[in-house]
Amino acid sequence: MSSSDPPAATVRWRLDLAYDGRAFSGFAYQPRLETVAGALRQALARTLRLEAEPVVVGAGRTDAGVHALHQVVHVDLPARPRTRTAPEPARLVTSLNAQLRGRIHVIAATPVEDSFHARFSATWRAYRYLVCVDGPRLDALEALWWSVPGPLDLAAMNDAAAEVVGTHDFRSFCRRAPRSEPGEPITRLVHEARWRSTNDPLELAPGGAFVRLDIRAQSFCHTMVRSLVSTMVAVGRGRLAPDTVRRRLATPDRDRLPAPAPPSGLALVAVGYDGGAS
């Protein structure tokens, strides 16, 4: 572009975020509900004095109550906003965080090429689900994990987790999208899934123990991780047969499977793009 060319109408920005899912009815924008995208749109419009709220596109549409430790979004902002100066990354981050008041934390703001798309450029997403076994059942703590009675057979849960790795039809573990056909497969590619014991560094659960599921996939369908978690926990407690996950992947059927695990234990922890992760 020569110095005589007019400036571009908009510049695409990548925003890296974390948020507390309890405050929101999910990520996706809904006009009459408080959502992550909606709160971010409002903050951007106020910061840059925009006449209309910009469209925010996320790498993953987390459900109501689900947290994010690292979400990625893109948004197209005017190259010459009404503030008269183009946004400066550090100042934009500071201004947005001051308005969002800890419900959403903007980690970074970066101008990117127009070809970058937070959702379609992503090659994988990683989630973590945290379970507290035999810990105290306090409302404040239930916002961070799912408390379950033990004991849990971690080896059996990992055998079940190993079954989901690869490309499978996840109809048994997903809520079907509107207007989709009942017999239509819901195929997803899972790169890894593993349960492990983890520490309680803040000593919030005396007498309890923690296990967590780390799962990474190209993409996920609605309630997929939470449904897998509740089923695997039931296997770990001996309430479902060890081969339940394998059988339900082979023959999709949600009948007599437990309800999805609570959203509070789930967090989006990373998004992968060519050249590295978020």
Residues labelled catalytic: 63
Residue count (the chain): 278
How crowded is residue 179: how many other Cβ atoms within 10 Å of its Cβ?
5
39 within 8 A of 15, measured Cβ to Cβ: no
- CA dihedral sign, ordered 173, 169, 234, 236: negative
**How much is the CA Rg of the chain, to the nearest whole Å?**
21
Report in angstroms the alpha-carbon separations of 27 from 20, 39, 73, 265.
Answer: 11, 10, 11, 16
Beta bridge partners of 216: 126, 192
For the chain, the 3-state helix, strand and coil shares in percent, each to the nearest 5, are: 25, 30, 45
Encode 78-113: b = buried (16+ Cβ within 10 Å), e = exposed: beebeeeeebeeeebbebbeebbeeebbbeebeeee
CA distance 6 to 13: 20
CA 71 to chain centre: 7
CA distance 126 to 118: 14
- CA dihedral sign, ordered 250, 253, 255, 260: positive
Element (H, E) at 85: none
